[in-house]
Amino acid sequence: MQRRESQSRLLQAMKDMFMLPDLRRKLLFTLGILVVFRFVAHVPLPGIDVAALSQLFEQNQLFGMLDLFSGSAMRRFSVAAMGVYPYITASIIMQLLVPVIPNLQALSRQGEVGQRKINRITHLLTIPLAALQGYGMLAILRGQGIVMELDPLTVATVVISMTAGTVFLVWLGELITERGIGNGISLIIFGGIVAGFPDILGKGFLSMENPLGLITFIILGLGTLVFIVAFIEAHRRIPVQYARTTFRSGRMYRQSGSTYIPLRVNTAGMIPLIFAIAVMTLPATIASYFASPTSPNFANTIAHVFNPGATLPLGLVYWGVYFLLVLGFTFFYTMIIFEQLGLAKRLQEQGGFIPGIRPGKATADYLDHVIRLITFGGAIFLASVAIMPFIAREITNITVLAISSTALLIVVGVALDTMKQVEAQLVMRRYEGFLR
């Protein structure tokens, strides 16, 4: 019953969001920015063999997955080929450095002013990371014979153009956050992934020669989707009570209230998946520099082992290591985020306590114990989502359809978050209208 009411509320929100002029203006602004992003994704860079590049993405599942996240901008080798991932990398680095560096810790405690300074540092860090990743991509494609020999000035121009494309996309994302609906950076990634879905569905018709496998693939995909939604919304409620003493007209009054802390099962979000993908792509990227197409060597073996499209038994090595990395990174990142929150200290400062648990260290130990227990379920969830493409491929024997479950996780998470923000805007406006 509760789920049915939630669905009806969501449908009503989708119907009402175009009725309010200011909300409609925000939605249209967001859609307009996404159109600009798709236009930039089609602006090509010079010196590329488009046919050879397309063939590389068809043969290499790793590059195909990265291309899906960029909305086929990487396949076209456009100025937006790297998307906003250098900025995400910079954000992750800053999140890891804040608890370690005292000056950054001090900035994080300064509220909104400190957060703006940290964001400025993140933006500055994005530029060299984008330049390095752009040059690395250019070097890999040159080693594959896809990019022709370019003079130093042209190389510098291409790298600067790709860096500028990343910075431009980050700026578009922040415009959406300020003037539109939802988190802009997440919506840019969302737009890139969704833009690649028609091509994937087109490949699905090529699998009609194996209808049973295609039906099984669709069932597994829908099951993964339901699985993702259930775990994104799952959380454990920790009851909290507040006891406050106030003085009025010389008399002391005791007030009490109760609420709860929603500890999410998947506190880490998709960051562990991004970490794991980065680690898994590093060996293959380095090996591609030394691999030889004529006389296979050890680098060729490494590149083959760390290829997500590898068949059994080598496929078990790649996906098994990927599964373990996601588990480890989920626990690691969740503990870092949870420690930064300092829930036990904040509860004590605000006069709150968990029933049956003494304030202070006992509360901190209890919360740590609970977050470890539920994080175990969240880690298993993320790791299972990560290896779902491998399971689907082995069960259905369909290789032309390769929808990354990581991409599904991002799409579902961003869609749910955006719809919640729309619903919050509608609730606020209905309340304001009631007051009038």
Average per-residue pLDDT for the chain: 76
> Do 211-397 and 19-205 fall under one CATH topology?
yes
Predicted pLDDT of residue 372: 86
When pLDDT is averaged across residues 275-285 and rounded to a whole number, the result is 73
Cα dist from 57 to 39, 79, 117, whole Å:
21, 18, 39
Mean pLDDT, residues 204-210 taken together:
56
Looking at domain 19-205, which of 3.20.20.70, 3.40.50.300, 3.40.50.2300, 1.10.3370.10 is its CATH number?
1.10.3370.10
C-alpha pair distances (Å), 172 with each of 31, 37, 186, 374, 390 = 11, 8, 11, 36, 35
Amino acid at 259: T
Least confident range of 21-35, 187-201, 364-378, 420-434: 420-434
3-state DSSP call for residue 307? coil
Instruction: Encode pLDDT of 62-81 as tens digits.
Output: 666 666 666 667 777 888 88
User: Residue ranges per domain, the chain?
Assistant: 19-205, 211-397
Say yes or no: domain 211-397 is CATH 1.10.3370.10: yes
Tell me if the bond preceding 313 is cis, omega within 30° of 0.
yes
Q: Model confidence over 160-174: pLDDT tens digits?
A: 998 999 999 999 999
On the question of pLDDT at 12 being above 70, the answer is no
What pLDDT is stored for residue 11 in this prediction? 63
Residue 331 has pLDDT above 50, yes or no: yes
Q: What is the pLDDT of residues 350-381, one digit of tens each?
A: 777 788 888 878 888 888 888 888 888 888 88
Q: In 342-360, where does DSSP find H-type helix?
A: 343-349
Q: Tokens in use for 68?
A: 């899906």
**Is the pLDDT score of 317 beyond 60?**
yes
Element (H, E) at 75: helix 73-76
With a cut of 90, say whether residue 148 has pLDDT above it: no
Q: What are phi and psi of 241, to 5 degrees?
A: -120, 145
Higher confidence at residue 377 or residue 299?
Answer: 377
Residue 179, classed as helix, strand or coil, is helix
Alpha-carbon span 73 to 149, nearest angstrom:
22
**pTM summary value:** 0.75
Distances (CA, A) of 175 to 23, 123, 126, 331: 15, 15, 17, 33
Confidence check: pLDDT of 403 > 80: no
